[in-house]
Structure 1
Amino acid sequence: MSKFLRGTLILLIATFVTRILGFINRIVIARSIGEEGVGLYMMAYPTFILAVTLTQMGLPVAISKSVAEAEARGDFRRIKKILVVSLGVTISLSLVFTPGLLLCAPFISKTLFTDERTFYPLLAIAPVIPVVAVSSVLRGYFQGRQNMKPSAISQVLEQAIRIALIAVMTKAFLPYGVEFAAAGAMIASVLGELGSLLYLFTMFKMKKRFRVRNHFLKTIFSGGDVFKELMIVGIPTMGSRLIGSLSWFLEPIVVSRSLAIAGIASGVATQQYGMLTGFALPLLLLPSFITTSLSTSLVPAISEANAHKNYRLLEYQVQEALRFCLVTGGLAVIILYLYAEPLMQLMYGSNKGAVFIQLMAPFFLFQYYQGPLQAVLQALNLADAAMINSFIGSFVKLAVIFVLASQPSFGIYGAALGIVTGTMLVTLLHLMTAVKKLSLTIYVRDYLHFIFVVVVVIIFSKLADQYVLTTESPFIRFLAGATFTSVLYIIISGAAGLIKKRDLLKIPIIKKWI
């Protein structure tokens, strides 16, 4: 098995476990502090992501790419220089943005948001910025060397610590108010990130081939060439992520103010935003653990193929990644659309957010494509194009949210439509850029086959749900329905040529059986 495939499988498994643990996390939070508490948590969280994005400066992707290219040449001295310069930059920036967030928290909560109770979650999350900054550098280093195990295990460890602490923290702070309970959930996240960093640092100390502390400052000041190399990828990548983070930061502000224009009270607006972003969106984003793992592995793999000028291998990897996204994303969309109500009931004890999932799920196939396409652009030094695409999509998203959500007839559904509009636009722009750069062939027949498979599976699954799966238990209904739909989808996709025998043979246990 190739390093690329092995790394992807490791990350896929770890990310799946992480997402499942993350769901347990969210279930505990939702059942502990309710929709309003989740709304406060989700309003504050984008501010933290914005601060982290500014601190990282796009370095994780740049580090992964540069380390992969240096290792392909056997230049371990260069790898040390990359790592030292990156740590110097991120640590310095974190010392600026952490106190900056603490100082700006009163202004953000009272002036920008319509609910000033977000002040306490903002204070609680600020200390984690330097922790995440250093962790991201170490993850980029390991991923560049195509050693995905430390990154994968650290993600699982982080979520495990959160789950161990989340119920304790929210229960301890809830008597003081829902805003303090939301802050308690943030503190649990901080401690989870700290545990993840300690693990990554331990693994780095065990596996490194050089001393980082030797001449640390001298290496930083003499690393102008490395800094420039990292910034060539890092700045456009940061620009792309900054646009996304800034868009996410502005999203709750635009939503809350638009709903206020529509005549919806701030408490109700916070509750509705919590249902959309804290209940529905995590379920819609769950299948992206597959494409996230694929994206992480694609950057060093494509960078290495590009460095060796092996364009045939490069195009093959891109085509396989897109087909993989189509097949796995299609199944996810069908299951989410068909079984939104029992799934929401099973996860949160309420099906209030099911309507958001049914509205948005058909469009989220574009979301599952977006990560791998952006990874391809970054690996090919087209991060600036990805940044422009992200800016256009984010601007359109916020504009659509404001126009629709401020109308009483749309309300919070206008925010949902704005999110999917922006997602679709960015993905299509990424695809157009990749096709132009690589002269990729678009296999129209595969997409026609895919549409046929989706229509057939939905029809038969609905019939089965209506006449066979008549149980009142949301667990049995979802499990039986999702199993039936998955088996039917795999069989028909195989018959249509979307799933090929060589794909199955790449899975060791199936290869052994065959």
Structure 2
Amino acid sequence: MKKYSFIYGTLLLIAVNFVIRSLGFIYKIVLSRIIGPEAIGLYQMVFPFLMVLITITSAGIPLAVSKIVAKENSLHNKVGIYKTLWIALIIGGTIALVLSVFVSLRMDFIVDKILKNRNIYYPILFSIPAIALITFASILRGFFYGLKDMKSPSNAQILEQVSRILFVLSYLIYKKPSNPIWAATIGIIGISIGEFFGLIYLVFKFNLKKLGSKIGALKAYPESFFKITSNILSFSVPISMGRLVSTLLQTATSILIPQRLVLAGYTTSEAIQTFGKITGMAMPLLFVPFTVTSALSVNIIPNISEQIALNKISDVNRQSSLAIKITLLVAIPISMLYAAFGSHLGLVIYKDLDVGRYLSIISYATIFLCMQQTTSSILHGMGKPIIATINFILGMLLQLYCTYFLISNPKYGINGFFIGYIFSAFLVFILNFISLKRTITLQLSMKELLLKPLVSSTIATCSIFYLYKSLALIIRSSFLNTIFSLALGSALYLILLGMTKSLDLFSILKELRPR
């Protein structure tokens, strides 16, 4: 199986993430226009609950598989690699089965007592198959990432996204359901459809015959079964518990926001629509830079795990510093862009000024969110998931506090959510950064990390503004003009990074090859 260098693997994942997020972004735009804000709001109320379920099985276990497989592979322990995978599949499958049965038997209680919205009964019911599908697909992707084979899981994710989009949009366009409940349900069903095709691809790519031949390894080395299980659980449980608490808090937030908005004077319909505009329309735009940071996160965990196993501490320091630098080079210009042009983007993409206003406000969290993701992944790769988990939970508690006490106050309204969101992201980033500084030596320069990207971003942002004004006389379509101006501004930003030597193109080209 072909291995890739850190830079090569990261760039490959960035490209794939760009394709996936672009498809998802277009999908969200089209979906919101077809089914409307109320259906989007119902969909977004169900989605966090589904995340609670799959977090238990697909948050920590795949990361544990990726980390342990990378370590065993660096030590050329093939038996340990396949045993890790099999045991992880058994653990994940068992938990997924228990959760599916529980939800099936307790549907009325979940809908009426926990979520307190009878309208989401069917969306919740049809989300059950996704639990097992996402679990197995996530574990297999973690296996491939641990072997530094980025291509197979990347192709699977593209197939999953395309299958989901084709199914949902084809059905909605053909049937044109007027009921927002049924429209939201179709969106949920699409998740399972997409995950099914992605999982099938991974299974065939893995080669079942090859996997079956490794079953004997479990029987040949029974004394290490509990050791591997312990390794998986000791790494995955803190992450899963942290993600579970986080997802529960996010679910509580998604339930509280409409309720607290009503107390602030909104009607029920206005509250749901506001919630849908933020989470279903503004957030997808906010998460654009995660195209890069999620690729870094996936790739850096097995790389750091491998380097620690081989006692290459200097490489850990170097790659951690590089990941932080790349994160800021992406997050700074996008934060500046959203702050300056959020209202315009909301009008051009969604034809909704509120969405643009929300995007402009929440854009100030972008840098902290990106840094939070990258620093958490570095801590995970170093085998410190508990520290990252505690930091994340503290941030989520701050966000929940602001959501509960500020949103219901007419003085703040929905701005109370933004306050909590921005400050919680900042808190987690600061705590992660302090934890890293105490553990490794980061090779960071304020001039390289902040000054050069800030200057380059400012020049690029101003150029986008003037380009749009100038091209408006030639290009009548506001959407095409925006795309063209953004493309030219982005090209200018890259040129400026090269001129200021913020990007070492020679080193990047040197590593752009499989190992």
Under TM normalisation by the shorter chain, which class is it? over 0.9
Q: How many residues align?
A: 509
Question: For residues 420 and 222 of structure 1, do their structure 2 counterparts lie closer, same or farther at Cα, with a shift above 3 Å needed?
Answer: same
Q: Does 1:496 align with 2:496?
A: no
How far apart, in 2, do the equivalents of 1:117 and 1:482 lie? 40
Give the whole-Å Cα distance in 2 for the aligned partners of 1:507 and 1:76.
26
Q: Runs (4+) of structure 1 moved beyond 6 Å?
A: 215-222
Q: 2:26 aligns to what?
A: 24
Instruction: Tell me the C-alpha RMSD between the 2 structures.
Output: 2.5
Q: Does 1:79 align with 2:81?
A: yes
Listed one character per residue, the Cα deviations across residues 234-255 of structure 1 (whole Å, up to 9, x for unaligned) are: 1122123223222221111221
Checking the alignment, whether the CA contact within 8 Å between 1:87 and 1:134 is kept in structure 2 is yes
1:449 is aligned, of 439, 449, 452, to: 452
Once the two structures are overlaid, the 10-residue window that deviates more, 176-185 or 374-383, is 176-185
Match of residue 373 from structure 1 = 375
Structure 2 matches for 1:123-272, cutoff 5 A?
A: 123-171=125-173, 175=177, 177-205=179-207, 208=210, 211-214=213-216, 223-272=225-274
The answer to whether structure 1 residue 486 and structure 2 residue 471 are counterparts is no
Cα deviation per residue 1:119-146 (whole Å; 9 max; x = unaligned)?
Answer: 2211111111011111111111111111
Displacement of 1:357 after TM fit? 1.0
Q: Whole-Å Cα distance in 1 between the matches of residues 338 and 202 of structure 2? A: 35
Distance of 1:249 and 1:85 partners within structure 2? 30
Pick closer, same or farther for the CA change 1:169–1:100 going to 2, 3 Å: farther
The structure-2 alpha-carbon separation of the partners of 1:463 and 1:215, relative to structure 1 and needing over 3 Å to count, comes to closer
Please identify, of 31-40 and 433-442, the stretch whose mean Cα deviation from structure 2 is larger: 433-442
Q: For 2:173 and 2:124, locate their aligned partners in 1 and report how far apart those are by CA, in whole Å.
A: 19
Q: Is 1:439 matched with 2:438?
A: no
Cα distance, 1:60 vs structure 2: 0.5
Alignment of 1:28-47 (within 5 A): 28-47=30-49
Q: How does 1:332-371 map to 2 (within 5 A)?
A: 332-371=334-373
Question: Are the equivalent residues in 1 in contact too, given 2:317–2:441 (CA < 8 A)?
Answer: no
Deviation at 1:290, TM superposition (A): 1.0
- Cα distance, 1:482–1:142 mapped onto 2, change above 3 Å: same
Choose 90-99 or 488-497, whichever is displaced more.
488-497
Show the 5 A alignment for 1:447-486.
Answer: 447-466=450-469, 469=472, 473-486=477-490
Q: Is the 8 A contact 2:265 2:410 kept in 1?
A: yes
Change (3 A) 1:271 1:14: same
Q: Do residues 505 (structure 1) and 509 (structure 2) align?
A: yes
Q: Equivalents in 1 of 2:221, 2:171: separation in Å?
A: 42
Which residue is equivalent to 2:315?
Answer: 313
Structure 2 residue runs without a partner (length 5+): none
Give, in whole Å, the separation in 2 of the partners of 1:294 and 1:179: 37
After TM superposition, the structure 1 stretch with the greater mean CA deviation from structure 2, 419-428 or 70-79, is 419-428
1:386 and 1:430 in contact (8 A); partners too: yes
Bigger shift: residues 277-286 or 113-122: 113-122
More displaced 10-residue stretch of structure 1: 355-364 or 1-10? 1-10
How far did residue 288 of structure 1 move? 0.6
Residue 52 of structure 1 is aligned with which of 51, 54, 79?
Answer: 54
- CA displacement 1:77-108 (0-9 Å, x = unmatched): 11121111111111111111112223444334
Instruction: Decide whether the 8 Å contact of 2:57 with 2:135 is kept in 1.
Output: yes
- Which deviates more from structure 2 when the two are superposed, residues 150-159 or residues 342-351? 342-351
Amino acid at match of 2:97: L
Structure 1 residue 342: deviation in Å?
Answer: 4.3
1:122 maps to which residue?
124
Q: 1:296 aligns with which of 295, 298, 312?
A: 298
Separation in 1 of the partners of 2:145 and 2:5?
A: 11
Deviations 1:176-198 (CA, angstroms, capped at 9, x unpaired) = 61111100111111110011110
Indicate the larger mover: 157-166 or 343-352. Answer: 343-352
1:501 Cα deviation after fit: 3.5
Letter aligned with residue 509 of structure 2: L
Give the secondary-structure state (helix, strand or coil) at the position aligned to 1:263. coil
1:428 corresponds in structure 2 to 430
Q: Distance in 1 between matches of 2:177 and 2:20?
A: 30
Quick check: 2:66–2:145 contact (8 Å CA) kept in 1?
A: yes
Question: Quick one: distance in 1 between partners of 2:322 and 2:75?
Answer: 27
Which letter does structure 1 place at the counterpart of 2:333?
Answer: L
Give the C-alpha shift of residue 424 in structure 1.
Answer: 1.9
**In the aligned structure 1, how far is the partner of 2:470 from the partner of 2:158?**
40
* Letter of the structure 1 residue corresponding to residue 184 of structure 2: A
Whether contact under 8 Å (2:120, 2:181) holds in the other structure is yes
In the TM superposition, what is the alpha-carbon distance from 1:8 to its structure 2 partner?
1.6
Q: CA deviation at 1:41?
A: 0.4
Q: Which residue identity does 1:484 align to in structure 2?
A: L
Moved more, 49-58 or 494-503: 494-503
Q: Confirm or deny: 8 A CA contact 1:81 1:219 kept in the other structure.
A: no
Specify the code of the residue in structure 1 equivalent to 2:146: G
Judge conservation of contact 1:171–1:181 (CA < 8 Å) in 2: no
Measure how far apart 1:507 and its partner are.
8.1
Q: Is the 8 A contact 2:59 2:243 kept in 1?
A: no
CA change 1:173–1:94 in 2 (3 A) is: farther
Change (3 A) 1:111 1:265: farther
> Residue type matched to 1:121 in 2?
P
Q: 1:451 is aligned with what amino acid?
A: L
Query: In the alignment, what sits opposite 1:512?
Result: none
d(CA) in 1 for partners of 2:345, 2:218: 52
CA distance in 2, matches of 1:256, 1:442: 43
After superposition, the C-alpha distances for 1:363-414 in whole angstroms (9 at most, x for unaligned) are: 2011122222111101111100001001100000111122221112322222
Kindly indicate whether the alpha-carbon contact (under 8 Å) linking 1:60 and 1:139 is maintained by their aligned counterparts in 2: yes
TM-score calculated relative to the size of structure 2: 0.92
Residue 15 of structure 1 is matched in structure 2 by 17
Assess if the C-alpha contact under 8 Å between 2:123 and 2:188 holds in 1: yes
Q: Which runs of 5+ in 1 are unaligned?
A: 510-514
Q: Tell me how far 1:468 sits from its aligned partner.
A: 5.7
CA contact (8 A) 1:65 1:299 kept: yes
Q: CA deviation at 1:416?
A: 2.5
Cα shift at 1:291: 1.1
1:404-441: CA deviation from partner (whole Å, max 9, x where unpaired): 21112322222233222222211221111111110324
Map of 2:389 onto structure 1: 387
Match of 1:109 in 2: 111
Supply the distance in 2 between the matched residues of 1:139 and 1:54 (Cα, whole angstroms): 17
Which string of whole-angstrom CA distances, capped at 9 and with x for unpartnered residues, describes residues 187-228 of structure 1? 111110011110111111169466244476897896111011
Q: Does the 8 Å contact 1:71/1:145 carry over to 2? A: yes
